[in-house]
């Protein structure tokens, strides 16, 4: 059972924002780790007070807490027992103590021997590239090999423990504040927090011991990506010096237009043109789609404007929900020039009863078809 946030701060439910702030300030001073060295109970109270203040000082969180209690923050809320670390807590202080701790947060971590802190692993910078994909590649997924110019640790480079911070990654400062003597830690500016500095720098390497090297990186692109999406290849950005970790390679997707297929979500559209005689007599056509050739049969008497739906012949869904459809729009091509024989034929047909339009209910209007397409 978690304690009530109001009780922790020793205030009533109707407390104003100023009262909440004042109460927290009092508790923070009372239980501050520097004044209670080696007292785990004080540390516990210090953290509890910070957690209570984190919620009650935020109007949104406070409203949720007032309504639902602790359950408002379970599962993703981030306020499960002691989830705040000391960095979080000290970053509150800029607000509470008006910057009395120097520079409004940011600089605090690794306090008097608890809460972790210490050296952090430096991460190399990310690299960005663009990849152009054909519709076929988008529809089926593809593995692309791209040349990337990455910074890497030069051959023969060595690193040693940073002499400024002795490998801690941080330098400690003693300052006098309203809470008494405070020990604060800041990231070491010599090593940037890694705790290491360059020892042997080979020729051609930069100040961090890195050189630019071209590397072929293989990128697996899943089916169904869209223009503007960004994929991440972890660890294929620039390397970091020392024992740091590499940055990531960020891949922006560009898609190329297809000569005859149009994409709409996971569906594909294709305009098929057939002759009047094909429409009258029926025919069979082959369509070059993204998964290869698709053969479709057109029944005798097919109407211009009919849309044939080929299920699953579209683009694979990026989230794995099957594939879209290929929608074939039938267009009957009317000849613009006729020779004498053809002209005679059509003139004779003008009076034929079979050539007179008699649309049936099943010959849906354009608007009904559009409605169908999106349903």
Note the residues at the interface with Zn ion (CB under 5 A).
Answer: 162, 164-165, 188, 190-191
Q: Which is nearer to Zn ion, 28 or 186 (CB)?
A: 186
Question: How many residues belong to the chain?
Answer: 375
CB of 106 to Zn ion, least distance (A): 18
CB nearer to Zn ion: pick between 49 and 188: 188
Joined together, the tokens standing for residue 277 give 């005689």
- Tell me which residue of 293, 297, 288, 151 sits closest to 212, measured CA to CA: 151
Measured from the CB of residue 225, what is the shortest distance to Zn ion in angstroms? 42
Least distance in Å: CB of 140 to Zn ion? Answer: 50
CB proximity list for 49: less than 8 A, separation 6 or greater: 8, 9, 24, 27, 28, 31
User: Rounded to an integer, what distance in angstroms lies between the CA atom of residue 109 and that of residue 101?
Assistant: 12
Least distance CB 164 / Zn ion (angstroms): 4
Q: Which is nearer to Zn ion, 22 or 120 (CB)?
A: 120
Q: How far is the CB of 192 from Zn ion (least distance, A)?
A: 8
**Closest CB to Zn ion among residues 104, 107:** 107
User: Which tokens sit at 337?
Assistant: 């020039």
Shortest CB 122 distance to Zn ion, Å: 11
**With respect to Zn ion, which residue has the nearer C-beta, 164 or 260?**
164
**In the 8-state DSSP scheme, what is residue 111?**
B
> Judged by CB, which is closer to Zn ion: 195, or 324?
195
Determine the 3-state secondary structure of 330 from DSSP.
Answer: strand
DSSP track, 254-300: EEPPPSSEEEETTEEEEEEEEEHHHHHH-EEEEEEETTEEEEEEE-T
The Cα–Cα gap between 288 and 271 comes to 12
Number of Cβ within a 10 Å radius of residue 245: 14
């Amino acid at each position: 059972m978690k304690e009530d946030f109001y009780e922790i701060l020793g205030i009533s439910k109707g407390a104003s924002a100023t009262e909440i702030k004042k109460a927290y300030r009092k508790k923070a001073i009372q239980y501050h780790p520097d004044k209670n060295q080696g007292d785990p109970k004080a540390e516990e109270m210090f953290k509890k007070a910070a957690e209570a203040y984190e919620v009650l000082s935020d109007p949104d969180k406070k409203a949720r807490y007032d309504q639902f209690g602790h359950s408002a923050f379970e599962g993703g809320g981030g306020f499960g027992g002691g989830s705040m670390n000391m960095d979080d807590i000290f970053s509150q202080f800029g607000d509470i103590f008006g910057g009395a701790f120097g520079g409004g947060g940011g600089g605090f971590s690794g306090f008097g021997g608890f809460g972790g802190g210490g050296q952090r692993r430096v991460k190399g910078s990310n690299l960005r590239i663009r990849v152009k994909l054909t519709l076929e590649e988008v529809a089926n997924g593809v593995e692309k090999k791209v040349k990337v110019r990455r910074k890497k640790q030069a051959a023969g480079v060595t690193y040693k423990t940073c002499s400024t911070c002795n490998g801690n990654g941080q330098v400690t400062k003693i300052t006098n504040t309203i809470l008494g003597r405070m020990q604060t830690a800041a990231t070491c500016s010599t090593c940037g927090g890694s705790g290491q500095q360059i020892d042997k720098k080979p020729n051609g390497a930069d100040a961090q011991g890195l050189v630019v090297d071209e590397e072929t990186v293989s990128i697996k692109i899943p089916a169904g990506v869209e223009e503007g999406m960004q994929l991440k290849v972890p660890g294929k950005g620039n390397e970091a010096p020392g024992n740091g970790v590499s940055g990531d390679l960020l891949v922006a997707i560009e898609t190329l237009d297809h000569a005859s297929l149009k994409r709409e979500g996971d569906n594909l559209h294709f305009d098929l043109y057939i002759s009047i005689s094909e429409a009258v007599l029926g025919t069979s056509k082959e369509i070059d789609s993204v998964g290869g050739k698709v053969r479709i049969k057109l029944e005798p008497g097919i109407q211009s404007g009919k849309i044939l739906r080929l299920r699953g012949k579209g683009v694979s869904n990026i989230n794995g929900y099957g594939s879209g459809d290929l929608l074939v729009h039938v267009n009957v091509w009317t000849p613009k020039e006729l020779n004498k024989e053809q002209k005679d034929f059509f003139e004779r047909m003008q009076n034929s009863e079979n050539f007179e339009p008699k649309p049936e209910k099943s010959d849906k209007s354009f608007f009904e078809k559009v409605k169908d397409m999106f349903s």
